[in-house]
Amino acid sequence: MQAQHRLRRQVAANLFDRMAARMDDVTARRFGRVAAISGQEVTVVESHFLAEMGALSGDGLSLVVFDAVYRARTGDSVIYQGNEYSVTRHAVFNGKSQIWLE
C-alpha cells in the first residue's frame, strides 16, 4: 500500500506559486518513497548530507516530507526502507517539513 502525498492544493495567486506546486507534485511522484512516521504513512524524498563533528565525519540522512498534515516533532519514530530511526531535529524546507534522522 502506497501512501499518497497530501500536498495542499490551494488556488495559486501567481504563476510562480503554480509552477512550484507542479514541481512538488513531480518531485513526489518521481522520487518519493513511503515512510511510516509515528505510524502514519507519508511520501518522503531522501536527502543526504555530510555530517561533520571535529575529526569525525559521515553521511547523514534527512527526509523532506511531502504531506501537508504531518507536523514534525523531535523523537518521532520513523520506519524508512526497513530501518527504524528517530527524528533528531526538524525545520521547514520550501514549505514542507524536513526531518533529520538518527
Confidence (pTM):
0.77
The three-state secondary structure class of 101 is strand
pLDDT digits (tens, 9 = 90+) for 65-101: 999 889 999 999 999 999 999 999 999 988 899 999 9
Confidence of residue 39 (pLDDT cuts 50, 70, 90): very high
Q: What was the pLDDT predicted at 13?
A: 63
pLDDT digits (tens, 9 = 90+) for 7-34: 554 444 688 888 888 999 999 999 999 9
Locate the domains of the chain by residue range. 15-101
List own/partner pairs for 69-73 with CB under 8 A and 24 or more apart: 69/6, 70/37, 70/40, 70/42, 70/97, 71/97, 72/97, 72/98, 72/99
Instruction: Tell which CATH architecture fits domain 15-101.
Output: Beta Barrel (2.40)
Q: What was the pLDDT predicted at 12?
A: 47
Q: What was the pLDDT predicted at 74?
A: 97
Beta bridge partners of 36: 41, 79
